[in-house]
Amino acid sequence: MTDGNRSYCQIMIGRAMTGLVGLIEIYEQLAAENVPADADGLDAWLVAAIKAHNYVPRPAIAQYASALVREYARFLEERATGAPSRLWRDPRKELQSWYPTLFEEKCDGCGECITVCPRSVLGWNPDHTVALVLEPYECAPACQLCARACPRSAIMMPAQSTLHQRVDSGPRSSRGAGCDTAECDGCSSCAGCRS
């Protein structure tokens, strides 16, 4: 929880993961009032509601509206099916830039990328006509299955060199002088922390 007692989550808006405060509470309120995901004016209402605690750039309003409705539909589907809420496997993934970039204008909607992805990183737009990157932090480092499966080259993966960049999970000062282990928290058990 953040900003008092409001939730914090990240969703894909356009091609960027965007952190939002209070989104879950908004979705829970709508669900309690039985508002369907295809309700008239829901997109504008969601943007106005999210603006109460978040900055929404004017040029991105349409992207926010589309993403908020898409995520609300997923929220309702999760509740209806009893599926667990999405959890990212490793919070440090937010610091590592290994996930696909999908160029929607090249996508022909064949779905090959969605089929081969073992971690459900990709999904459909609301009309099931174009694939979208919905869970980038679930992408396995070095995985390129979706990009290889795409017949139209609509998916690009980062350079392999990004995998060798340091990903810190905490302040460097808590580690031993010679420690370069991302998981280290000043444990005193590894050779770097003992030095």
pLDDT tens for the chain, 195 residues long, are 344 688 888 888 887 878 889 999 999 999 999 999 999 999 999 999 999 999 999 999 999 999 999 999 989 998 998 877 665 555 556 666 788 999 989 999 999 999 999 988 999 888 889 999 988 888 888 899 999 999 999 999 988 877 766 555 444 444 444 444 444 444 544 544 444
- The verdict on 76 and 65 lying in the same domain is yes
DSSP 3-state of 7: coil
Distance, in Å, from the CA atom of 64 to the CA atom of 191, rounded to the nearest integer, reads 47
- The verdict on 95 and 147 lying in the same domain is yes
- The verdict on 184 and 154 lying in the same domain is no
Return the ∠ at Cα 122 (arms to 118 and 123), rounded to 5°. 115
- The verdict on 102 and 149 lying in the same domain is yes
- Decide if 86 is inside a domain: no
Last residue of a domain, one of 30, 62, 81: 81
Number of domains the chain contains: 3
pLDDT reported for residue 137: 81
- The verdict on 47 and 31 lying in the same domain is yes
Q: How many CA atoms lie within 13 A of 159 on its CB side?
A: 4
- Decide if 191 is inside a domain: yes
One-letter amino acid for residue 164 of the chain: H
The candidate with the shortest Cα–Cα distance to 132, out of 157, 107, 153, 156, is 107
The candidate with the shortest Cα–Cα distance to 125, out of 71, 78, 77, is 71
- Decide if 130 is inside a domain: yes
Say which DSSP state 119 is in. Answer: T
Last residue of a domain, one of 48, 81, 114: 81
- The verdict on 58 and 46 lying in the same domain is yes
CB 22 within 8 A of CB 50: yes
- The verdict on 67 and 51 lying in the same domain is yes
> Could you tell me the two tokens for 104?
């929607």
- The verdict on 186 and 146 lying in the same domain is no
- The verdict on 53 and 97 lying in the same domain is no
What domain range is 185 assigned to? 165-195
- The verdict on 96 and 160 lying in the same domain is yes
CB 144 within 8 A of CB 130: no
